Amino acid sequence: MSSLIRRTENSINLNDVLLQYLISISRKLRAHTSCINALAFSSDTGGRFLASGGDDLQIHLWDFHQEDVTEPCHTFIGPRSNIFSLEFSRSNHYLFAGGTDTMVHQFDVSRLDSGTLTRNDNLPMTMYRENDTIREITCHPFQDEIFLSASDSGRIITHDLRVNSSNNPITRAADIIQLATEVTSTKFHPTIEHLFITADAKGNVCLRDTRMAFGPRKSRTNNGIVRSFCTTLAKRNIRNMSNPESSSVAFDREGKKIAVTFLHYYPTIYSVSDPYPIAICTGRDTAESMLSQRTGYSNSCTIKHGCFGGPESVSDADYYCGGSDNFCAYLWKIPPVEHLIEQRGEIPAHEWRLEGSNTVGFAEGFESSKYVPAEISTPSSVTNPLINTTLIHPYFPMILTAGIERTITLHSPFPSCPFSRQLSLTSQEVRQLPGSTTTEESQVVDSLLLGLDPADRDNPDEAEIDTIRLFDRILRMEGEADPFDVRDWVQAPDNLDQENT
């Protein structure tokens, strides 16, 4: 480690540092009392504020301009049920939160940078009601007052705080896209204000234009879709196809690539200008001994959010980070788009029918050519039970992970950084999935599956253990599911519209 520090002092390539992110040093931030589902950094302030939220209904703010971050600088109260999404507006005037209470909570945090906000201050809060669980909130890249919400009701709503449309049903109808299934994720393009991307429970991933998606019905076109990305899987040695659920999407910094997190499949990278994927991130060839008993990335039982990142000062430092059900987080270095397109294979339909191969490709239908994306198989990784969300710091070489545990973990290649002095060597031990549970443990898990609180579980440590037991049970039941077994795909007729218009 000392040699790594000396090399850093001599201005080593930051790419080398990034590749050490997840195998070196870490530290935990403790304040939550239950699972943490959402993390968000503030915008345009050097990543000063981190917002975190989850199942304990509290939203904690952490100030990364402190010399040593040990506790939240402020805690917001408002959500009445599990928090799934957090996002700051463009200039950090507002913080938005959404989850299973079907409400968007808007906090006025404009006093954050002034230093006048204390932990117990009550800030102005506004709420916007939805019809179902809010899966994601995304803020306009340039306007503080505009954001989108996506929910399990199938609705995508554009909100403009400058217009009071709550009492005007005609205006409200013009602000809504109604899809035929749950909307699982949405993100504004980071540099083009009219573009946003959506994902849904049927596996559809679409790039949309607000000018075509919202407004009077007569001016809309195809729900604003300007590009649909191919998400249907084909496998050479079986006859059926599969469309795995797309549970979250993310843009890279420049908006040239997107990453889709699929249920029962690998994180998949697309070029925004190409409907077919250019890479999959597998983790199959990880060399570290800490993963010697793992077979690579897997995702079957939690809603996961990954992210792109890398230092702005290094043009080719583009990374993607995501959590896995095998108790690890993975960081992949993403090659340039042009290189990945060159490596992608295209196999005509008549050649695809040849037997004797387990190759998986993407295709629009049975009689279409199959596209086999490049495989990025060698990541760096770190242990952290059942990671739900990952976040790369926008300026410092640090990754944050959170999930079923009650803690946020900071991962760094160095034993100290401008906002933390207590990092230590990360454990190289990989948690093993227990083969079975005792009768008492099974009774606790059964209670949780029924939505009941087990008796005598007021102790947060015991509650966390019970939650991990529950997900161990789910992993044993569903962890090795094959998308071709659980998500069989039937090609729709050409004239069947998959969405309500």
Distance (Å, rounded) from C-alpha 64 to C-alpha 448?
36
pLDDT of residue 3: 31
pLDDT of residue 486: 79
User: What three-state secondary structure class fits 121?
Assistant: coil
pLDDT of residue 190: 95
pLDDT digits (tens, 9 = 90+) for 432-448: 666 666 665 566 555 55
Give the strands of the sheet with 125-129, arranged side by side. 83-88, 94-99, 103-108, 125-129
Q: Which residue has the higher pLDDT, 227 or 422?
A: 227
Distance (Å, rounded) from C-alpha 255 to C-alpha 227?
14
Tokens representing 268 are 């998949």
Distance (Å, rounded) from C-alpha 440 to C-alpha 452?
15
pLDDT of residue 36: 93
* Kind plus residue range of the DSSP H or E element containing 440: helix 439-449
Q: Which alpha helices (DSSP H) does 103-199 contain, by range?
A: 169-174
All domains in the chain, ordered by first residue: 32-437 (2.130.10.10)
Q: If you average pLDDT over residues 85-114, what whole number do you get?
A: 90
8 band by pLDDT with thresholds 50, 70 and 90: very low
DSSP 419: T
For β-strands 374-376 and 279-281, DSSP reports them as: parallel
Lowest mean pLDDT among 13-27, 38-52, 260-274, 461-475: 13-27
pLDDT digits (tens, 9 = 90+) for 268-305: 999 999 999 999 999 877 654 344 444 578 888 778 89
Tokens representing 469 are 């037991």
Q: If you average pLDDT over residues 15-29, what whole number do you get?
A: 64
Whole-number average pLDDT of the chain = 81
Lowest mean pLDDT among 95-104, 206-215, 311-320: 311-320
If you write DSSP's letter for every residue of 251-314 in order, what string do you get? E-TTSSEEEEEETTS--EEEETT-SS--EEE--TT---GGGTT--S---SSS--B-EEE--TT-
pLDDT above 50 for 501: no
Tell me the backbone φ, ψ of residue 426, rounded to 5 degrees: -75, 135
pLDDT digits (tens, 9 = 90+) for 175-231: 999 999 999 999 999 999 999 999 999 999 999 999 999 988 888 999 999 999 999
pLDDT of residue 314: 56
pTM passes above 0.85: yes
